[in-house]
Amino acid sequence: MTLKLAIVPVTPFEQNCSIVFCEKTKEAAVVDPGGDLEKIEDALSKLDVKLCKVLLTHGHLDHCAGAKELAKKWQVPIEGPHHLEKFWLDQLPEQTVRFGFGEAEPFEPDRWLLDGDSVQLGEHELKVFHCPGHTPGHIVFYDEPTRLAFVGDVLFAGSIGRTDFPRGNHADLISAIKTKLWPLGNDVHFVPGHGPMSTFGRERQSNPYVGDGV
């Protein structure tokens, strides 16, 4: 039983939209569809999988501006983020116009997610961790058998998420990474919101913001 992954860069921000699916059931979720839905749908077709849900790590437009349209077209639920992201989702119409993303409606997910919740995908159960700091309601999805995490803009290869946005908090972000992510293990691979994948162990060794030597 394996969880498979394909990454589709979307939007002018080159955001890592992930298509993750259960190898056995072919049930798939799209994580953070910020836009370019035709690229996402083309990837779903080539993978020959069935979209069952949309998962959101947080409410920034490059991660969620395409979520409602995709979910409506495929008639699937949106799960996540945490309810503290509502103020970001409410701003989508203004933000998408401001940054040239076209038009997007404000929305609420079918299910807000809390720390300790889980999301079922085929035979896999993705654990949910609330990791505030970049935004107040940011969450991370983690599949323990595959040792794979989807961390959005919490952590990057060699960096961490910005905390200068409204309701951002640097201390909260550092704490979330060290207390929620590091205990999962150095061998965990993660998909960041932007840029290449890395492992928690690699970041603990060399990340200038949250490495063990900082």
Please name every residue paired with 19 in a beta bridge, in sequence order, or none if there are none.
Answer: 6, 30
What span, in angstroms and rounded, lies between the C-alpha atoms of 68 and 105?
8
Confidence bin at 26 (pLDDT 50/70/90): very high
**Angle at CA 90, nearest 5°, toward 192 and 156?**
10
pLDDT at 16: 98
What CATH architecture applies to the domain 3-152?
4-Layer Sandwich (3.60)
Q: State pLDDT tens for residues 115-163.
A: 999 999 999 999 999 999 999 999 999 999 999 999 999 999 999 999 9
Q: What are phi and psi of 44, to 5 degrees?
A: -60, -40
Q: What tokens does 60 get?
A: 């920034």
What pLDDT was estimated at residue 104?
A: 87
Is residue 11 pLDDT above 70, yes or no? yes
Rounded mean pLDDT, 17-31: 98
Q: Is the pTM of this model over 0.85?
A: yes
Beta strand extents in the chain (DSSP E only)? 3-10, 15-22, 27-31, 50-55, 78-79, 118-121, 124-130, 139-143, 148-152, 155-156, 159-160, 189-192, 198-199
Q: What is the mean pLDDT of the chain?
A: 97
Residue ranges per structural domain of the chain: 3-152
Q: Does residue 1 carry a pLDDT above 70?
A: no
pLDDT band at 199 (very low <50, low <70, confident <90, very high): very high
Q: In angstroms, rounded to a whole number, what is the distance separating the alpha carbons of residues 102 and 104?
A: 7
87-102 pLDDT, tens digit per residue, is 999 999 999 988 888 8
Q: How many CB atoms lie within 10 A of CB 108?
A: 13
pLDDT confidence tier of residue 79, bands split at 50, 70 and 90 = very high
